[in-house]
Amino acid sequence: MTTKKSLRVRLQQSEPFSLDVQLRCERGELLALTGPSGSGKTTVLRSIAGLHKINHGHVYSGGDCWFDDAKGINKTPQQRSVGFVFQHYALFPHVNVLDNIVYAMSHLPRKQRYVKAMELLSLTNMDGLEKRLPVNLSGGQKQRIALARALARNPKVLLLDEPFSAVDQLTRRKLYRELAQIRTTLDLPMVLVTHDLNEVQQLADSLCLMHHGSTLQSGTVNDVMRKPVDVNAAKLLGHQNIVTANIKHNQGHKILCALGIEFEGVVTTDHFDCTHLLIEPSAIIMHRGDRPSRGERENPINVLVSEAVELGDELSMHLTANTGEHLHFSVSRHVAKRNGIQIGKTIGVSILGEGVHCLSA
């Protein structure tokens, strides 16, 4: 049964800052915790590991209770069986790579420790570096050792606190691939704290969006990213095209109005007031001058190109509608050139209903 080894967390505190979070992570699942700085992500991770004392709530790993204020249980970090990868590696600087891993294996007989440590070095592609001191390793190598050490305890939960933030982009991509490979061999809940939404999409199965110490939204990565619950969540998830909307009722039908037109093909919900629309970038179709475009009859509007900046191969634009609201839109530079796009020109775009989602304020 999957629930037997899942991680279940409920944390509440009011001082020194407020925290009210509920999480569940099944074995084999990688849950990403994301949100702006100061939202409490790292505190959640530290509380799970027993490094932060929390007032109320519980932390269960399968049937093991690590913390439950109602039962008066609060195990030490040593008793919790977690693997923790720190943001700045936190390797033991005075011992070599092999001993960094062996130190975390007090649960094994002495002889087995070195055998297992060598296996972990191999798993993290660090063979041959066992005698080096951490000071002689690159950032990527340090992070691989930190991961090997975290796995050395044979943990029941793996916690990763912004593990890729201190390495360069090239190394980061390599480490993504390696973590994705190692993940397939791990059958334990994994919680990743990150600021990077690209990292979330590449690595995580589920996502918990935090803000001011509370869970704003949680679910599968795809659901949360595509369908934020409200305007705040949408902005935190990096969505730029958020416009005001209202619903008119006409002879029993609901008509969704935004950007000065009546929208068609958008799924509205009765669960909340639709005060805003989130428009995915891929849902904006530019009308071409030479021939009709796919879907150009769907929600067509005329917009003014109020800003245009070349970013690499693309032209990034601000489009201003009659209502004064802006849409962000990019096209490749050759398409922009062919259609004569320049600042001050009015162009026609269509907005595909399937890429539009209702939001509450």
Give φ, ψ of 125 to 5 degrees: 55, 40
**Residue 78 binds another protein, judged by CB under 8 A:** yes
Place of tokens 């067509």: 300
State the Cα–Cα distance between residues 193 and 247, nearest whole angstrom: 38
Neighbours of 48 (CB within 10 A): 26
Distance (Å, rounded) from C-alpha 301 to C-alpha 248? 19
Site for another protein in 300-359 (CB under 8 A): none
With contacts defined by CB under 8 A, name the span among 3-11, 75-83, 114-122, 287-295 that binds another protein. 75-83
Query: Which CB atom, from 193 or from 200, has the smaller least distance to another protein?
Result: 193
Q: Which stretch binds another protein (CB under 8 A): 77-85, 278-286, 287-295, 315-323?
A: 77-85
Instruction: Tell me which amino acid residue 5 is.
Output: K
Give yes or no for residue 153 binding another protein (CB under 8 A). Answer: yes
Cα–Cα distances in angstroms (integers) from residue 90 to residues 9, 50, 161, 280, in the given order: 25, 17, 11, 40
State yes or no: residue 112 binds another protein (CB under 8 A): no
Helix (H, G, I), strand (E, B) or coil at 144: helix
Cα 56 from chain centroid (whole Å): 26
Closest contact distance (angstroms) between CB of 13 and another protein is 19
Query: Is 138 one of the binding residues for another protein (CB under 8 A)?
Result: no
Which CB, 82 or 336, lies closer to another protein?
82
109, 185 Cβ separation under 8 angstroms: no
| Minimum gap (Å) between residue 87 Cβ and another protein | 8
Binding mask 33-62 for another protein (x = CB under 8 A): ----------------xxx-----------
Smallest distance, another protein to C-beta of residue 102, A: 10
User: Helix (H, G, I), strand (E, B), or coil: what is residue 332?
Assistant: strand
Closest approach of Cβ 342 to another protein, in Å? 52
Nearer Cβ to another protein, position 84 or 164?
84
Please count the other Cβ atoms lying within 10 Å of the Cβ belonging to residue 25: 24
Phi-psi region of 152 (alpha: psi -120 to 50; beta: other; left: phi over 0): alpha
> Does residue number 142 form part of the binding site for another protein (CB under 8 A)?
no
Q: CA 203, 44, 144: angle at the middle one, nearest 5?
A: 45
Quickly list H helices, 105-168.
110-123, 139-152
C-alpha 137/C-alpha 157 separation (Å) is 27
Distance of closest approach, residue 147 Cβ to another protein, in angstroms: 12
Cβ closest to another protein, residue 88 vs residue 227: 88
The CB-of-122 to another protein minimum distance in angstroms stands at: 20
Residue from 135, 170, 184, 271 in contact with another protein (CB under 8 A): 135
**CB 81 to another protein: min, Å:** 8
106-to-92, 103, 357 alpha-carbon distances in Å: 16, 7, 53
SS3 38: coil
Count, residues near another protein per rule CB under 8 A = 28
Strands 242-250 and 276-279 come out as: antiparallel
CB of 167 to another protein, least distance (A): 16
Q: Does 110 help bind another protein (rule: CB under 8 A)?
A: no
Place of tokens 């979330």: 200
Decide whether 186 or 257 has the Cβ nearer to another protein: 186
Instruction: Show the site string, 79-108: x = touches another protein by CB under 8 A, - = not.
Output: -xxxxx-xxx-xxxxxx-------xx-xx-
User: Smallest gap, in angstroms, from Cβ of residue 300 to another protein?
Assistant: 56
For another protein, the binding residues (CB under 8 A) are: 49-51, 76-78, 80-84, 86-88, 90-95, 103-104, 106-107, 135, 149, 152-153
